[in-house]
């Protein structure tokens, strides 16, 4: 009777925990600024690759949605070097304008620009134009989308007509730099080996932070929903692992920020590591996203105690970290906003329950085996298989909603690098799902068989532990792909 009452009470605590996490995430993110996952350069004046017959007195860039200038914003390089210019925004952030101190005289010019979308994802690119005449400066400022002395090029043409050295990974010369803004806009150095290595390291830092949060949040849910009755004595084992994930998140964030800063400085470590450079490289939205994750990670590291009720600050910390992930992702930029945010919250919560539960199962069985205790794998496997099945269903449904809302058209799944990586992620998730399905319908019933348990309880535990190791390895791959998807542009 005592075991039953404890199980019911623990299950109620776990249910309240899941509902509380979902509600808090929705409330925390409801006021996030609306944006678009498809913010990009729409047109320039002068147009990319065009030739002007008269001096140019301003360079204007028009975007599909409002942006914020990062660093210098717009840098114009001409025959005599970098041109001194004032950079300002217009039309509510839809247009960035660079006004040289003197009209641009005859010569070839390269424009490098860096801006941030409303969701904090930076965009960077470059294009070129030529001033061929020496006539009087135009009396009227050029309209964004047109050119001085030449008609505006089609946006799709601008991506292919940029001057040599232009960075035009996206269809319009826009390149998503993955949650970091820039300090230097040297077009020649944009694809340097040091810069590319720094970008890869920054994304690994993001993956480490995401993995830490998934294990932390899922471990807390596992402690509430699976460890019931006499199994509650193992709650401290899981919470001890949760505590370490807080430090992993902080380390991942530190690597992400520092390596991202080096990447945006195109490999110049000296220019990137100063506090002022790092502070100047973060957009307002990015500061909020990283700040929420850092504060939440600290709460997880210091708040995970020996009991679930005593770890309330770790639960709050996991909510803050999750809010930071949604705030810094593409889902915060799509419409209808209420649907996409709700789907993303459900997707993250279910993924954390799944990933963290698998990791916690492996940790728990390893701890019991090390201590020479009864593994009782049948009970643990049966409880978690139900939770995992629900989590997989929610992950799949929410993932479909997010993909439909973020992608403009189905063809982007196979026409863009972002879509191909998404398909690769879905493939790995499907493999993990097959393993979970096999465990649910074949392994768990086998473990619950009285004949099997009596013959070899240790063999049963090892069977479940090996399955958890396989699933964990594949989930690491999923998280690495997810980190790339979050940092990359949908248009790439």
Return the minimum-mean-pLDDT range out of 289-298, 443-452, 462-471: 443-452
Tell which wins on pLDDT, 395 or 4: 395
Tell which wins on pLDDT, 473 or 216: 216
CB 349 within 8 Å of CB 315: no
Domain annotation for the chain: domains and CATH numbers:
2-36+196-487 (no CATH), 41-173 (2.60.40.1220)
Q: What number is the average pLDDT over the span 362-387? A: 78
Task: Tell me what pLDDT residue 451 has.
Answer: 59
Tell which wins on pLDDT, 103 or 375: 103
Task: Tell me what pLDDT residue 1 has.
Answer: 39
pLDDT in tens, 128-148: 999 986 544 444 444 444 433
Task: Tell me what pLDDT residue 119 has.
Answer: 65
The token pair at 340 is 């996409």
The token pair at 145 is 């989308």
CB 216 within 8 Å of CB 300: yes
For the cut 70, the answer to whether the pLDDT of residue 79 exceeds it is yes
Half-sphere exposure of 345 (CA within 13 A, CB side): 22
Rounded to whole angstroms, the Cα distance separating 135 from 142 reads 16
Q: Say what the pTM is.
A: 0.69
Task: Tell me what pLDDT residue 164 has.
Answer: 36
Task: Tell me what pLDDT residue 301 has.
Answer: 96
């Amino acid at each position: 009777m005592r075991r039953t009452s404890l199980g019911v009470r623990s299950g109620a605590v776990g249910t309240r925990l899941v509902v509380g996490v979902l509600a808090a995430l929705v409330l925390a993110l409801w006021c996030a600024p609306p944006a678009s996952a498809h913010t990009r350069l729409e047109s320039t004046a002068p147009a990319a690759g065009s030739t002007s017959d008269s001096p140019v007195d301003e360079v204007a860039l028009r975007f599909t949605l409002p942006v914020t200038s990062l660093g210098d914003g717009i840098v114009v390089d001409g025959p005599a070097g970098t041109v001194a210019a004032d950079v300002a925004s217009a039309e509510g952030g839809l247009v960035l304008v660079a006004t040289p101190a003197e009209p641009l005289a005859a010569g070839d010019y390269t424009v490098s620009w860096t801006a941030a979308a409303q969701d904090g994802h930076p965009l960077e690119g470059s294009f070129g134009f030529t001033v061929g005449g020496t006539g009087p400066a135009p009396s009227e400022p050029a309209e964004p989308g047109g050119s001085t002395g030449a008609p505006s090029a089609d946006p799709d043409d601008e991506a292919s007509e940029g001057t040599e050295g232009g960075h035009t990974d996206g269809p319009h010369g826009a390149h998503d730099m993955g949650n970091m803004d820039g300090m230097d806009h040297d077009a020649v150095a944009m694809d340097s080996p040091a810069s590319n290595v720094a970008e890869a390291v920054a994304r690994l830092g993001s993956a480490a932070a995401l993995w830490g949060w998934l294990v932390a949040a899922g471990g807390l849910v596992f402690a509430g929903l699976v460890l019931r009755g006499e199994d509650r004595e193992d709650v401290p084992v899981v919470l001890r692992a949760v505590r370490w994930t807080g430090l992993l998140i902080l380390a991942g964030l530190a690597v992400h920020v520092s390596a991202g800063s080096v990447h945006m400085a195109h490999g110049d470590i000296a220019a990137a590591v100063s506090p002022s450079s790092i502070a100047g490289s973060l957009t307002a939205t990015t500061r909020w996203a990283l700040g929420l994750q850092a504060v939440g990670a600290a709460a997880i590291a210091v708040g995970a105690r020996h009991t679930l009720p005593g770890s309330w600050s770790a639960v709050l910390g996991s909510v803050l970290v999750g809010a930071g992930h949604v705030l810094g992702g593409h889902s915060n930029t799509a419409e209808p906003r209420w649907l996409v945010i709700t789907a993303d919250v459900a997707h993250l919560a279910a993924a954390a329950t799944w990933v963290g539960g698998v990791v916690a199962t492996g940790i728990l069985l390893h701890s019991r085996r090390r201590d020479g205790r009864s593994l009782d794998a049948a009970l643990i496997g049966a409880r978690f298989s139900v939770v995992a099945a629900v989590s997989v269903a929610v992950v799949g449904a929410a993932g479909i909603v997010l993909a439909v809302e973020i992608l403009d058209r189905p063809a982007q799944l196979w026409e863009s690098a972002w879509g191909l990586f998404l398909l690769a992620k879905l493939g790995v998730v499907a493999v993990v799902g097959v393993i979970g399905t096999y465990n649910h319908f074949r392994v768990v019933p086998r473990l619950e068989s009285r004949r099997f348990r009596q013959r070899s309880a240790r063999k049963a535990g090892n069977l479940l532990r090996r399955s958890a190791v396989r699933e964990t390895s594949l989930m690491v791959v999923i998280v690495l792909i997810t980190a790339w998807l979050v940092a990359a542009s949908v248009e790439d």
